[in-house]
Structure 1
């Protein structure tokens, strides 16, 4: 998820001031003034569950890891939850997971997809209503094939800057990746897993983070080689997908998602979603792309033909498409597709529908696919951490924080790199230099936050080897695991990916 409403950033722990009467002569600040004089807060519990049909006994460790400066002063507390199979096999695979935002804790992948427990919310695109929300054993967890480490970056979950460290020191594509890479190295030290097969996985901006972390882990001589990267709801090329006037690529990349959505809601006709999506892909990259690139030089005959086909794919009227100059932004699509029914559709998952204050607006009041699930996940992560895993803290778990507006989107390498943000080349370089690394790409057909055609476009550019990239598709949206069938399929697909190394 690219951006969310603002919440409070991580609090800073400052030492109490000392009066002049107590200390007539000033002295340099001691380390205790800038860092917590305490050990990391950690809780360890033991559990047993059945995952992938196998009975597994495992140790759950929920707690802090301090990132320190060159003077050994803690700068940040990274909160993580590790699930490690009893026996601690040093050669057993381990998978590091996080969500996106930027500003999102790992709650979604943790309590929705891969953790040993999951929250049960409606699978059919209805909202999660009120508590209590069932917290169930999760047979789709990956603990039968890999240990799991869920990471909350600084400003999310319970993770925060320490002492006088400015939280913004961690708010940026590269800054954030450096901190996560440092955490992974520390975890490998502490757990004796340097020679274990290693996987990195993220959702949404977490896929952006994955590419940047790969660059930090494998882009140096003191590297940490990876066996695989899991990209779930992928966004790598922000330039191509930018919904901004003058960018024609965004319309091309969104068209297949619009087609899938129109078909789902009965606004289009086709034999199957897969067939209709493939037809939309071909049209988007062919006649539609050619028409858009001609701009105002397009002929009247070609314009009429394109408008007719767009109406067939999108379910929108030709009159509306003409008014939009053949270029419908996603936000307008959410409002217009079901306007005749008095409904809007979701951004994260366009299967969801909502009702606005009135039906006359240009864009929806809110995203029904987010407010339809957030309460259940927030309740579940707090109940699981505080009750099941026995983690004690006065801090509030930040599921979605408002740090995106403070984010440093620059990745360096010159002005053009920073203007046109694209981290896919990081993955291309890693694939070229590490013959044992593979990439798994999981995409929902009904996801407009990170459209599946955008992921395909980003990962098929020059310099990215194609023989070790695997794509899987799901009949849901951004968080495909909210649909029961897709959660099981996602688990099965990734389990096979890990076993296939």
Structure 2
């Protein structure tokens, strides 16, 4: 019997080893020939007629052994017939997620053609056809532009011996984007060009990590500037969670701004005046109260509740029952509760009607997303097919929820001790700025952004070793994608133009 037990144990061990080997020997994904589509165009940018080339293509990345592991999709717009083109600025552009393609910045802000959506956030984008317009505020007179879609978004994918896990993680993502940038710069002979990164949301998390990553591995590449749109460097300030005190502080001024917009608070004062009051209350009074918790005296609790009514427009009994802590999803449902409307998260100006009026959070998703998503998707696909002559054998993925589900936030190798903390790449940016004294940063924040609040940008950039005198903070009366608001599109484009011209 003893020998039989040993035999079974060895059999099970052999089966386990065989099973593991089978998993490790997954069939190699095919490596088809890389596609490339090159077209010539004319446009007016900065008041100047510009002839430019669009190069939409796949670029293969390799691992340390030289094996091809991924195909990165990019679209580059480069000006033709430029004297000393090797020194012309180039800006690499990507969105966030993780799991979002560059469609939003491509068709909303930086691209030569933009899709039109309702500037005042009052109307849904509806169904096709949609309007494509020339980007009169484009920047091609100042910089070439390269739009990047990380693996799993757009047309980008793993190939050959590549595995999704090699790209779907904070560190893994930064390494792959860095490899693409170095390869693009080398192939196009642009090592002497001023170089910029422009990211939105998680794209700003990525930008800070990439800025640090570019300065290592024996191929030191120093950047001239970062354009951070709706920054998300320290997630303690952009994660609305019951036990995260920091987020109650960073979100409150955005709640105040949004309540002001919907005429629920701050009437008779300018937006800037009301927001400044919210800043001062948050730092000077609210922070102390939250950290006291149940030690806060009853009279002080009543005083704080009254001030929160003043800033948020919510009723006092609700605030007291919330223990002076308003989660952002609840604010979205509660602000226009009497009107039966839910406000947007990406942009508090947007409103949606939901059938479940008493839910504690939105049930249809984000009105600021679903009311413009179809227009952006259709515009990008139409533009690729009809203007850039792109023909691919698979659909373009504007977003990929699977990436977020599998994303690896761990910042140290497996087997190393790691105590999870909120994601924070602000320190990476601080280090990069101190090593590279030419690196400057533009931070663009929307007052009605209820996912990456403007006050969080101020909170984050006042610490983490960031060199404040090389940071320009700009503000807009829109949300996360402030460029959907036409006045903000014009102002943001002008601010970026100034930033590029001064660097």
The two structures have a TM-score, normalised by structure 1, of: 0.91
Q: Which residue of 1 aligns with 2:72?
A: 78
CA apart distance, 1:459: 1.2
Secondary structure of the residue aligned to 2:253 is helix
Q: Distance in 1 between matches of 2:464 and 2:390?
A: 47
Q: How does 1:208-223 map to 2 (within 5 A)?
A: 208-223=205-220
Partner SS, residue 168 of structure 1: helix
- Does 210-219 or 322-331 show the bigger shift? 210-219
Cα distance in structure 2, aligned partners of 1:259 and 1:187: 44
8 Å CA contact 1:263–1:270 kept in 2: the answer is no
Shift of 1:154: 0.2
Q: Measured at CA, do residues 429 and 97 of structure 1 come closer, stay the same or move farther in structure 2, by a change above 3 Å?
A: same
1:111·1:118 contact (CA, 8 Å) conserved in 2? yes
CA distance in 2, matches of 1:70, 1:173: 19
- What is the match of residue 440 of structure 1? 442
Alignment of 1:248 with 2:242, yes or no, is no
Partner of 2:111: 115
For residues 376 and 462 of structure 1, what CA distance do their matches in structure 2 show? 38
Q: Look up the match of 2:17.
A: none
3-state SS of the aligned residue for 1:234?
Answer: coil
Q: Which residue of 2 aligns with 1:369?
A: 368
Counterpart residue number, 2:386:
387
Is structure 2 residue 356 aligned with structure 1 residue 358? yes
For 2:112 and 2:204, the matched residues in 1 are separated by 22
User: What corresponds to 1:304 in structure 2?
Assistant: 302
Q: Name the structure 2 match of 1:196.
A: 193
Q: 1-side partners of 2:462 and 2:429: how far apart?
A: 11
Q: Which residue of 2 aligns with 1:13?
A: none
Establish whether residue 229 from structure 1 lines up as the match of residue 231 from structure 2: no
Deviation at 1:231, TM superposition (A): 0.4
Q: In the alignment, is residue 490 of structure 1 matched against residue 497 of structure 2?
A: no
Find the residue that maps to 1:34 and give its secondary structure: coil
* Aligned partner of 2:56 among 21, 44, 62: 62
- State the Cα distance separating 1:166 from its structure 2 match: 1.5
Which residue number corresponds to residue 400 of structure 2?
401
**Residues 270 and 276 of structure 1 are in contact (CA less than 8 Å); yes or no, is this contact kept in structure 2?**
no
CA positional deviation for 1:136: 1.3
Counterpart contact for 1:474–1:486, Cα < 8 Å? yes
Match of 1:93 in 2: 89
The reply to whether residue 41 of structure 1 matches residue 38 of structure 2 is no
Residues in 1 aligned to 2:61 and 2:409: alpha-carbon distance in whole angstroms: 22
Residue 285 of structure 1 corresponds to 283
Distance 2:343 2:46 in 1: 34
Contact 2:68 2:162 in 1 (8 A): no
Matched, 1:469 2:467: no
Structure 1 unmatched runs, 5+ = 1-32
Query: Is the contact between residue 257 and residue 452 of structure 1 (CA under 8 Å) also seen in structure 2?
Result: yes
Q: Which residue of 2 aligns with 1:314?
A: 312
Q: 3-state SS of the aligned residue for 1:123?
A: coil
Question: TM-score, normalised on structure 2?
Answer: 0.91
Residue 49 of structure 2: SS of its match in structure 1? strand
1:23-62 deviation per Cα after TM superposition (whole angstroms, max 9, x unaligned): xxxxxxxxxx736454310000000000121111000000
Kept in 1, the 8 Å contact 2:92–2:148? The answer is yes
261, 264, 273: which is aligned to 2:261?
264
Mapped to 1, the partners of 2:196 and 2:46 lie a distance apart of 18
Deviation per residue, 1:409-456 (Å, 9 max, x gap): 122397567423211000101111111010000000001111111111
Distance 1:282 1:196, change over 3 A: same
Tell me how far apart the structure 1 counterparts of residues 419 and 113 of structure 2 sit (CA, whole Å): 41
**Cα offset for 1:78?**
0.1
Q: 1:376: Cα distance to partner?
A: 0.2
Q: Quick one: distance in 2 between partners of 1:263 and 1:254? A: 14
Partner of 2:131: 134
> Aligned to 1:218, what secondary structure does the other structure show?
coil
CA contact (8 A) 2:34 2:59 kept: yes
Write the deviation string for residues 164-192 of structure 1: whole angstroms up to 9, x where unpaired. Answer: 42112100011011000000001001111
RMSD of aligned Cα (Å) = 1.4
Correspondence list, 1:173-188, <5 A: 173-188=170-185
| Contact 1:243 1:250 survives alignment (8 Å) | yes
Q: Contact conserved, 1:35 with 1:74, CA < 8 A, in 2? A: no
Query: Structure 2 residue aligned with 1:154, among 133, 151, 154?
Result: 151
- What residue number does 1:15 align with? none
1:124 has 2:126 as partner: no
Q: For residues 300 and 392 of structure 1, do their structure 2 counterparts lie closer, same or farther at Cα, with a shift above 3 Å needed?
A: same
Q: Equivalent residue for 1:334?
A: 332
Distance across 1 between alignment mates of 2:216 and 2:443: 22
CA distance in 2, matches of 1:333, 1:287: 21
Matched with 1:27 is: none
8 Å Cα contact 1:158-1:397 kept in structure 2: yes
The answer to whether the aligner puts 1:238 opposite 2:235 as a matched pair is yes
Bigger helix fraction: 2
Q: Do the aligned residues in 1 keep the contact of 2:31 with 2:160 (CA within 8 Å)?
A: no
Number of aligned residue pairs: give it.
469
On the 8 A contact 2:86/2:193 being kept in 1, the answer is yes
Contact 1:444 1:477 in 2 (8 A): yes
